[in-house]
């Protein structure tokens, strides 16, 4: 057989799901849901906003009995405060429902070809399948349920679920056997054993998750809610104590004024945005095709101290790649590059492809062998590949295989082969035979190459206070070389499953949180032990059940992104809490002097913003208190931008930007609002 060989070009990069952005239109579309959340049963779930809701009801009742422009305006803006808090949560949930609807469209009601006990087939609805059932799926058919391939091999289109345009290989056995309901088989025939019940597939769980129906408060969120509730009780007691003090001074304050003061002093800003921040954090993970089984896992990712990363496929490309060619016997590098390329044209393995690309890019070896060539494909039996051009035979392969083909190898080649092997590389010998003589032209070094930018990423993690540990089955010498090149802090060589478990436990005993990725059944114990266990969607069912997150893209490097998302969630919550408390402090100095200036005129010196009247000052503060919630909704949903750095540096930045900003913003905002409301009859002059 004769043919003309041409190496195929690399496939374009797969499409990734983009992260959705906040749109002001979402405020309008979420308004009906925000109105429905005004029900007291919903408000009870948020103690801070429930106090505002009660205050709104109280002021409304008092206004109905004794209406005035001031009391009506305060009542309206108190209700707006509650409504805007509901709006923040409704917008976050609305984004989740939009994603859920997109996911729901990927689900199709399919008919499954279930295998019977006698070896036959029966057609049943996809929702009638039970755990343990075996179904046949052929080219063009949709996989009816989550499961593992137990027979056959096929290419599968997972674009509807993961957003990846390139098909993937799924085969029985190993760590690439898992398939997801709703994906389509493109070629061949496979038998799938169902591993999930109807309604409990990963798509179903994602839909429930992004809709927020199953989102529970995390420990940090519960602790912050308790703190906010405590502050609310303290301010409530403080405001109640003001009335007897005012009476002793010769004047009583109205309940409307006291209620307005209470609402402005309690931490309404963070109380209103707390739920939206949590929902948005989960949302950002889903947008990156990561399914977190609980909000606790997202927060734990933000507190991670140690990252365990597999070398192969995570830190390195996984497939060995050509990194060097070493000519022998007076052959030039350009000549060796040309022969090595020709010997690899029929080698469809990743290693063969890398040799072709390496020789073409570095040495511009691109000559066409022409017609009438005989390709010799690589096989596991021969451990060689090559090409025959007339009576010229070119081969490339393992040293032992080429020695058997050539008869012997020069001592110089043996020394090069031994040196490359001792350094953790893979040597491939290149030789040619023709006119009755054999010539060894050189050696190609294959190495597990570190991915570009990994050293910089690990430096960022180090700046965040996170320790990185590379886990590999390689010997200690190879592991040390890769670890040094990648810039990780430590490595675990010749790692077995029990070694991973021991490492995780030793880290946790020191009070550190550990995150790791895995895809095989042997990774399941370590994934379950880790505080953040990210299982690959292509992995086994045992790995996915053991982890508390599943990456639908099966990209091990995404663990670094997950940690950054977790930290962004915590930083956003901390920043807005700082801003809210600083806000309350500023509003205190805006309202309190205005409330008592009639009783104690000397307090007018504290009216540094020169607000027109006590009523305009109070109403301006209430209006600002409501509007600031709307203004911060985009920040709560998008998240505070995360910059790697030490905890002390992050704290300084947080206090400077959001602490100082929280103090300055109310003074400017209340002053501007007062410029408008002072001209309202019954409020201003």
List active site positions: 310
Binding residues: 347, 351, 378-385, 396, 519, 523
Q: Compute the radius of gyration of the chain from its Cα atoms.
A: 33
Pair 551, 290: CB distance under 8 Å: yes
| Distance, CA of 523 to CA of 550 (rounded, Å) | 13
> Residue 323: how many CB atoms within 10 A of its CB?
14
CA distances from residue 364 to 328, 341, 356, 368 in whole angstroms, order as listed: 20, 10, 10, 12
381, two tokens: 């039996």
H or E segment and range at residue 195? none
Strands (E) in 398-495, as ranges, are 426-434, 437-447, 467-471, 490-492
Pairing of strands 490-492, 189-194: unpaired
Pairing of strands 178-179, 121-125: unpaired
Pair 376, 384: CB distance under 8 Å: yes
SS (H, E, C) 120-167: CEEEEEHHHCCCCCEEEEECCCECCCCEEEEEEEEEEECHHHHCCCCC
The backbone region for 40, taken as left when phi is positive above 0, alpha when psi lies in -120 to 50, beta otherwise, is: alpha
Q: How far is CA 261 from the centre of its chain?
A: 41
How many alpha carbons lie under 13 Å from residue 643 in its C-beta half-sphere?
A: 7
CA distances from residue 484 to 144, 306, 462, 469 in whole angstroms, order as listed: 46, 18, 15, 12
Binding residues for Mg(2+): 519, 523
How many alpha carbons lie under 13 Å from residue 406 in its C-beta half-sphere?
A: 26
| Distance, CA of 306 to CA of 313 (rounded, Å) | 19
* Closest to 518 in 3D by CA, of 533, 500, 508: 533
Residues 6+ apart with CB under 8 A from 136: 113, 115, 121, 189, 190, 191
H or E segment and range at residue 672? helix 660-677
Q: Is 287 in a helix, a strand, or coil?
A: helix
Binding residues for ATP: 347, 351, 378-385, 396
H or E segment and range at residue 387? strand 384-389
Residues 6+ apart with CB under 8 A from 178: 146, 147, 148, 149, 170, 537, 538, 539, 540, 541, 544
């Amino acid at each position: 057989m004769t043919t003309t060989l041409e190496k195929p070009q690399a496939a374009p990069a797969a499409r990734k799901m983009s992260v959705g952005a906040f749109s002001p239109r979402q405020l309008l579309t979420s308004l009906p849901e925000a109105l429905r959340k005004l029900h007291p049963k919903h408000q009870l779930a948020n103690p801070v906003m429930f106090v505002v809701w009660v205050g709104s009801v109280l002021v409304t009742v008092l206004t109905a009995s004794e209406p005035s422009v001031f009391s009506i305006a305060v009542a309206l803006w108190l209700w707006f405060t509650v409504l805007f808090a509901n709006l923040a949560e409704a917008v976050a949930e609305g984004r989740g429902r939009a994603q859920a609807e997109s996911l729901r469209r990927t689900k199709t009601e399919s008919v499954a070809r279930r295998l019977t006990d006698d070896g036959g087939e029966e057609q049943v609805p996809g929702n009638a399948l039970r755990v343990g059932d075996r179904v046949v799926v052929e080219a063009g058919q949709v996989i009816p349920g989550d499961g593992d391939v137990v027979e056959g091999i096929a290419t599968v289109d997972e674009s509807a679920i993961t957003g990846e345009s390139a098909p993937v290989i799924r085969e029985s056995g190993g760590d690439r056997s898992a398939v997801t309901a709703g994906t389509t088989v493109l070629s061949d025939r496979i038998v799938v054993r169902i591993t999930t019940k109807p309604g409990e597939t990963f798509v179903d769980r994602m839909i429930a998750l992004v809709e927020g129906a199953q989102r529970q408060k995390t420990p940090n969120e519960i602790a912050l809610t308790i703190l906010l509730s405590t502050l609310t009780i303290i301010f409530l007691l403080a405001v109640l104590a003001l009335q007897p003090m005012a009476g002793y001074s010769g004047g009583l304050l109205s309940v409307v004024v006291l209620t307005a003061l209470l609402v402005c002093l309690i931490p309404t800003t963070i109380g209103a945005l707390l739920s939206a921040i949590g929902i948005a954090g989960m949302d950002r993970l889903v947008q990156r095709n990561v399914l977190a089984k609980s909000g606790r896992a997202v927060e734990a990712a933000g507190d991670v101290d140690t990252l365990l990363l597999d070398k192969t496929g995570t830190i390195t490309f996984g497939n060995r790649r050509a990194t060097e060619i070493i000519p022998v016997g007076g052959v030039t590098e350009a000549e060796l590059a040309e022969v090595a390329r020709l010997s690899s044209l029929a080698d469809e393995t990743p290693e063969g492809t890398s040799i072709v690309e390496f020789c073409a890019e570095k040495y511009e070896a691109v000559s066409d062998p022409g017609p009438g060539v005989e390709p010799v494909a690589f096989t596991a039996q021969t451990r060689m590949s090559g090409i025959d051009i007339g009576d010229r035979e070119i081969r490339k392969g393992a040293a032992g295989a080429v020695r058997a083909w050539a008869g012997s190898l020069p001592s110089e080649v043996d020394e090069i082969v031994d040196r490359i092997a001792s350094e953790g590389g893979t040597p491939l010998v290149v030789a040619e035979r023709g006119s009755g003589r054999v010539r060894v032209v050189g050696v190609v070094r294959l190495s597990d190459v570190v991915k570009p930018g990994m050293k910089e990423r690990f430096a960022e993690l180090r700046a965040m206070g996170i320790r990185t540990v590379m886990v590999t089955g390689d010997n200690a010498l190879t592991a040390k070389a890769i670890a040094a090149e990648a810039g990780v802090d430590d490595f675990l060589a010749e790692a077995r499953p029990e070694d991973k478990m021991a490492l995780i436990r030793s880290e946790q005993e020191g009070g550190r949180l550990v995150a790791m990725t895995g895809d095989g059944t042997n990774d399941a114990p370590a994934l379950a032990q880790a505080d953040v266990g990210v299982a690959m969607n292509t992995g086994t069912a045992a790995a996915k059940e053991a982890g508390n997150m599943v990456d639908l893209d099966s990209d091990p490097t995404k663990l670094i992104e997950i940690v950054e998302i977790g930290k962004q969630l915590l930083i956003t919550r901390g920043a807005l809490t700082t801003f809210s408390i600083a806000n309350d402090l500023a509003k205190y100095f805006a309202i309190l002097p205005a409330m008592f200036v009639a009783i104690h005129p000397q307090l007018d010196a504290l009216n540094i913003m020169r607000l027109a009247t006590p009523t305009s000052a109070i109403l301006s503060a209430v209006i600002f208190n409501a509007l600031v919630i709307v203004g911060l909704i985009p920040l709560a949903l998008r998240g505070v931008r995360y910059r790697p750095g030490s905890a002390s540096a992050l704290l300084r930045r947080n206090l400077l930007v959001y602490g100082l900003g929280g103090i300055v913003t109310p003074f400017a905002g209340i002053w501007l609002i007062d410029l408008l409301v002072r001209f309202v009859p019954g409020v201003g002059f």
